[in-house]
Copies of this chain bind each other. A is one copy, B any other.
Amino acid sequence: MTRPLNIGMIGYGFMGRAHSNAYHKVSNFFDLEYRPVLKAVCARNATNAQAFAERWGYESIETDWRKLLARKDIDAVDICTPNNLHKEIALAAAEAGKAILCEKPLAMNAAEGEEMCAAVEKAGVLNMVWYNYRRVPAVSLAKQLIDEGRLGRIFHYRAQFLQDWTISADVPQGGHATWRLDVDAAGSGVTGDLLAHCIDTAIWLNGSIADVNAMTETFVKERPHAETGKKQPVGIDDACAFLCHFENGSLGTFESTRYARGHKALYTFEINGEHASITWDLHDLHRLGYFDHRDDSLVRGWRTVHVTDHDMPYMKHWWVPGLQIGYEHSFVHQVADFLEGLAQGQPVSPTFRDALETQQVCDAVLKSAKKRTWMDVR
């Protein structure tokens, strides 16, 4: 028989849906000791909380996250709020002895992240950050190929996260749907929202980043606030690009923007090694590009691996070869691994501390752009 893990979710936006779906599906597709139970959802507005609870089957609601944390019937807290609340909630949740699943980026900055790490480590609670793209099967496969040494010495790492949804100056900042454009709620723009994903994957695949050299730009200088309609200066970075050195000697180039017309959520990366190279992009997330110089030269070329066979990471749990899964499945995989870590008493990556490193790179990137100089990450 499976054991329940009672979930209390704070926040109910886009990520609240993605996580709730994952909690529902994981037990249908994975054989695990624990099963998530949707105990409570918390939102400031009771009507919204109630509607969300009904749709997703949460047993109860709260309107004050402190009350949620105080409940004995909650085992794990899922933090899906805007970034500016992550720290406060996480600290309280750690103190309450709850396991914590926190949306990315970990915090508003590395200093906050340090506090959060200290708190969960002191409390000894299981902790994880939702850098979900690690668990896209093609990305997990990339990790496996690199760890097997197939690429040899790495020379280059490239990543981009390109969107185009804020080109119009009419898109507001602040509020429920557009808090990511409000620097007070988000901490930064594309750096914390998009590049953080790229950096997390990069560190996971290619090791730590030593130093960075960045430029940022805010193309639209003023936007109306979603709630007041009043025009306010834009405090976030609309675009950010940086050069870096990895500690293994390879060179990195990273870029993110919300002004790349034609790209909705085009997260791409490419890794060039001595023997082999890898490419991936989020718009066709079920494929991995692979080139191996050791192939017979007559049939040497870029391969596109359709990552659907049962020997691919996570794929034996789904359908049959040739039938693709989508974006939401990465969250299911992350919940499955979280539950497995819980059962085994093992940490589940990315932990808060793993995510802190990404935060440190983000901080260095933003400082470098401001000072117009190279910055060491640590």
Contact = CB atoms under 8 A, between A and B. Distances in A.
Interface stretch (A4-12, A69-77, A295-303): A295-303
B272 A253 contact: no
Interface in A299-350: 299-306, 308-309, 311-312, 318-329
Contact of A24 (B28, B151, B259, B306): B28
Contacts of A151: 261
Given A283-B306, A306-B264, A327 B324 contact: yes
Oligomeric state, in copies: 4
Given A165-B321, A241-B253, A322-B266, A299 B290 contact: yes
A239 B155 contact: yes
B299 A264 contact: no
Nearest to A271: B261
A262 B284 CA distance: 18
Contact of A259 (B272, B283, B287): B272
A143 to B, nearest CB: 12
A321 B217 CA distance: 24
A265 interface: yes
A144 B274 contact: no
A255 interface: yes
A264 B319 CA distance: 12
Contacts of A3: none
Interface in A242-296: 242-243, 245, 251, 253, 255, 257, 259-266, 272-277, 282-288, 290-293, 295
A18 interface: yes
Nearest to A261: B277
A274 B261 CA distance: 7
A255 B302 contact: no
A109 interface: no
- Most chain B beta-carbon contacts within 10 A, residue among A214, A257, A264: A264
A230 interface: no
A312 B239 CA distance: 28
A190 to B, nearest CB: 12
A357 B161 CA distance: 31
Contact of A309 (B20, B155, B297): B297
A297 B167 CA distance: 16
9 contacts: A20-B28, A27-B55, A150-B299, A155-B239, A156-B239, A162-B272, A261-B293, A284-B284, A298-B311
Interface of A: 14, 18, 20-21, 24-25, 27-28, 55-56, 141, 144-145, 150-151, 155-156, 158, 162-165, 167, 213-215, 217, 219, 239, 241-243, 245, 251, 253, 255, 257, 259-266, 272-277, 282-288, 290-293, 295, 297-306, 308-309, 311-312, 318-329, 372-374
The 5 closest A-B pairs by CB, nearest first: A264-B322, A265-B322, A262-B291, A301-B305, A326-B326
Given A299-B303, A323-B326, A326-B326, 20 more contacts: A24-B24, A28-B55, A155-B257, A156-B260, A213-B215, A241-B243, A261-B275, A261-B277, A262-B293, A263-B277, A264-B309, A264-B320, A265-B323, A282-B323, A283-B306, A284-B287, A286-B326, A287-B301, A372-B373, A373-B373
